[in-house]
Structure 1
Amino acid sequence: MDQPASRLPDDFQSRYGGAAPDVAPPVNAVLETMLGHRSVRAYLPDALAPGVLETLVAAAQSAPTSSNLQAWSVVAVEDPERKGRLADLSNSQRFIRQAPLFLCWVADLSRLTRLGEAHQRRLEGLDYLESFMVALVDAALAAQNCVVAAESLGLGTVYVGALRHHPEKVAAELNLPPNAFAAFGLAVGHPDPAVPGAVKPRLPQSLVLHREQYGIAEESTAIAGYDKALGDFSQAVGMGRQDWTQRMISRVGTAAALSGRDRMKEALTALGFGLK
């Protein structure tokens, strides 16, 4: 039986700037959604339908979680004034105000801390970096499940790492308890069709897929090809022609380029994390 027509081959090529692996990818609606992902930075003012938030959180809670610790929480922000304050703390990104929903994903060891206190136990394992890493990974897995669910409903999303610019101020705005850290934000809403997003090319698979052992033999050649692909993409969407190498060197070349996040360990300690 012939396979039904699908956008997947086009999205598969777009994801690699026309240089996708020479394979015949399987086709289904989930893959169409995932390979068609794009960041949306312009939203209509329309509110989300009743029940959508709860459905997105159910999808998030369906993600894997280490040892069933479920060491994450999410703060759903819909109040325009609070969204505005969070936008101000996140590099003044306009779409945070535009989107009807802004989700703040929290690496949350506080619930386990309270659980120990309720049973007169000090949970020493929470003082270690490993526990913080578990909470951070749990939050990221949950958030990505939410993104896929949102996009399957026709909604747009964009992650906001700039929420980490001012961790203590964000924690105060969200009333987070000690041992809880707002790791990143996620704007969710109806995309503005007047400002369409595009599928941004990613690194070629030869740079990220290593079979049996890690290898770098073709790295320079592959990066040069990707620099051209991303430069072409950036120029096509009106962002100027800057290649990936230039962007990455600029992004992590100095401590100042981290926009305040160079003090992250200090901030996490102030928020109550042991990080031993």
Structure 2
Amino acid sequence: MNQVYDTVTNHRSIRSYSNEPVSEEHLTMIIEAVQAAPSSINGQQVTVISVQDPETKARIAELSGGNPWIAQAPVFLLFCADFYRAKIAAELNGEELVVTDGVESIIVGATDAGLAMGNAIAVAESLGLGIVPIGGARRQPLELIKLLGLPDYVFPVSGLVVGHPAGASEKKHRLPQAAVWHKEKYNTELEGLIKRYDEEVSAYMLKRTDGKESRGWSQAVSSLYNRIYYPEVRTMLEQQKFDTK
């Protein structure tokens, strides 16, 4: 097929890493890929903070919910939506930064960070590195902001662990393509597809856990989405000068 296609479609989240460091050359390539990602109005609303200090990674692991692979892997990357540079640009031109008074700025920043992270993941995996995204970076975001010195108009979107895999990881089943690819208009008749997918995921979980766990996809998702599981996000956005109203 195609090398990029093969890399992307063979993605696996890695949660066990060796002690082998990630070279500066590979980190530079990853950041070059981040900067090459498209961004809204070419505003380049993304900043990446790389963390390799063991104590800082250990603290980030605590703030993110106790994920041990954050401390174990050699590199943690924090992807941030960043309008601080836009604030400077406004001041340089005698303008006022107003876009952060609306939720559009939050969508733009998060979208740009997601696009950039996608590039980073593809390049890291093409280099033989393992990764796992860390949504837990939003679990205690006020403490993370303080720890890493994020200024106003910048907020954490997601973390990314990068390192050399210590072992293999199974490829997870995805939703049927018909549930994701809707042609011409949205197809709301999805219940049957989701039920069949639940059966696939349940069989996968039974095998993976030696019969101890049989949750399907819908059960796993609904058990998380029945609450606001990162309740500090709104407070964090408002603290960083983003209007959420």
Match of 2:184 in 1: 212
- Corresponding residue for 2:222? 249
**Could you give the per-residue CA deviations for residues 27-69 of structure 1, whole angstroms, max 9, x where no partner exists?**
1111111111010000001111231111100011111111100
Alignment correspondent of 2:242: 273
Q: Distance between the aligned counterparts of 1:253 and 1:87, measured in 2?
A: 25
Matches within 5 A, 1:59-74: 59-74=33-48
CA deviation digits over 1:131-169, x for unaligned, max 9? 221111111100110000000000000000011011111
| Residues 168 and 271, structure 1, Cα contact 8 Å, conserved in 2 | no
Amino acid of the residue matched to residue 172 of structure 2?
K
Partner of 1:228: 199
Q: State whether structure 2 residue 211 is matched by structure 1 residue 237.
A: no
Does the CA-based 8 Å contact 1:74-1:105 persist in structure 2?
Answer: yes
Q: d(CA) in 1 for partners of 2:46 and 2:241?
A: 15
* Superposed counterparts of 1:1-276, under 5 Å: 27-193=1-167, 196-217=168-189, 219-238=190-209, 240-255=213-228, 258=229, 261-275=230-244
Q: In 2, distance between residues paired with 1:157 and 1:188? A: 5
Q: Which runs of 4+ in 1 moved over 3 A?
A: none
- The Cα shift of 1:119 comes to 3.0
Q: Deviations over 1:91-140 (max 9, x none)?
A: 01000001100000001111101221233321222322112211111111
Q: Secondary structure at the match of 2:44?
A: coil
Stretches of structure 2 lacking an aligned partner (at least 5 in a row): none
2: CA distance, partners of 1:124 / 1:155: 40
Equivalent position SS for 2:95: coil
- Separation of aligned partners in 1, 2:188 and 2:105: 32
Query: Is contact 2:78-2:159 (8 Å) kept?
Result: yes
Give, as a single letter, the amino acid of the residue that structure 2 aligns with 1:226. Answer: Y
Counterpart code for 2:140: H
Measure the CA separation in 1 of the matches of 2:214 and 2:57.
33
Please state whether the residue corresponding to 2:220 is helix, strand or coil.
Answer: helix
1:38/1:200 contact within 8 Å kept: yes
Larger Rg: 1
Contact 2:140-2:232 within 8 A present in 1 as well: no
Counterpart residue type for residue 183 of structure 2 = R
Amino acid across the alignment from 1:108? D
- Kindly provide the amino acid, as one letter, of the partner of residue 135 in structure 1: G
Whether the 8 Å contact between 1:159 and 1:187 is mirrored in structure 2 is yes
Residue identity in the other structure for 1:204: P
Q: Identical aligned pairs, as a percentage?
A: 35
In the superposition, the TM-score normalised over structure 1's length comes to 0.85
Q: How big is each residue's C-alpha offset from its partner over 1:225-254, in whole Å with a ceiling of 9 and x where there is no partner?
A: 100111111122227211111111101112
Q: Which amino acid aligns with 1:138?
A: D
Number of equivalences = 243
